[in-house]
Amino acid sequence: MSIKTKLRNSIAQLLFSSGITSPAKCAHGRLSIATFHRVLPENERKNYPFPGLAVTPKELDAFLSYFTKYFDCNTVSTQHERYLSREKTERPLLAITFDDAQYDNFLNARPVLAQHHVKASFFAPVAAVERHELLWHDQLGFAIMALLKQSDGNQAKLMQILIDAGLKKIDSSSLIMTAVQASKELPLESRLRLVDKLVADSGATQIPEFARIMAFDELKALANDGHEIGSHSMTHCMMPECDDDALKYELTESRRILQTHLNFPINTFCYPNGNSDARTARAVEAAGYGLAVTTSWGLNGKNSDRFRLRRCDMDAKRVHDSNGNFLPALLSFRMSGFYPGLG
């Protein structure tokens, strides 16, 4: 472990033990929202293109043990309503959210949430649920993995495909992540053409069962459990790049379809990739949603825009000590507002 990491952990412990970063102090009078994506056992996380987006069931259990000890936990719409009503609670309010409606959320997160008696919000990209297909970034990631696993590695071929698509500054040491980030800068049609090209050239048609997205009956089972289902758009597009008609479609059609299939009201929206601006926020409001969440880091205060709420993304490796164990003091430090580089 580096000296920098040791120093960071020591500072985190000192601040936590002194009460400076305690949730009771730092989150008091604010609404906190925690974000998760995939929940995969370690053997599956190793075979997923973006392991940083996944926590194991054991790691989720550690997060929820911490949250239920220091926070009052529930869905984002419930907590937001309680926050606006200025309800006085013994512990600060926190909402638990899961993006992308991945099947592993149903299989692995659901029982851990039940064990802790916690209700959460799950955001579904509706077209992917309807078509039983992976989101574009997962398709791209698995295709790159398949190309790199071929006998000759095909890295030169892969790099040429990315260059021809107009991608720049691709880091070969973290190829998948930088390719995805660079792809987000492409126009929508160019991005989708790149994904199709990579999938075709890699032969990555057999996607692991663990990677699939949830079906409507699984989303309904979660809703019947008391969890909240929200919209994550129709096509998981980046909303600011949509014109007004496309925005309306992404927002209203996804809400209509979810309400039809689930027979539950859909009041919350999650911006794909977290991308939002003033125009998209007003479109969410016009579509009839009560609130929307971004991926901008931070807690929410009384002046926060309810259609651009901030969240804290949960990355297990960033809250582990030198032995790989969950370090509550480090998570408190990261969520406190004092951690360098985080809002």
pLDDT at 279: 96
| φ, ψ of residue 317 in degrees (nearest 5) | -65, -20
Superfamily of the domain at 3-133+215-335: Glycoside hydrolase/deacetylase (3.20.20.370)
**Residues in Cβ contact with 286 at an 8 Å cutoff, skipping those fewer than 6 apart:** none
Nearest residue to 216 via CA among 112, 130, 107, 109: 130
Amino acid at 213: I
Cα→Cα distances 10→290, 325, 332, 333, Å: 41, 15, 13, 11
Residue 152 pLDDT: 64
Query: Taking the model in full, what pTM does it have?
Result: 0.94
Low-confidence ranges of the chain (pLDDT < 50): none
Residue 6: per-residue pLDDT: 84
Helices then strands, counting H and E runs in the chain, come out as 17, 10
The string of pLDDT tens digits covering residues 148-199 is: 887 666 677 788 888 888 887 676 667 888 888 888 888 888 888 999 988 8
Check residue 244 and give its pLDDT.
95
| pLDDT attached to residue 343 | 66
Instruction: Report pLDDT for 341.
Output: 83
pLDDT score, position 295: 94
Q: Which residue ranges make up each domain of the chain?
A: 3-133+215-335, 136-202
Show Cβ contacts of residue 31 under 8 Å, excluding neighbours closer than 6 positions: 79, 80, 83, 93, 94, 95, 299, 300, 301, 304, 309
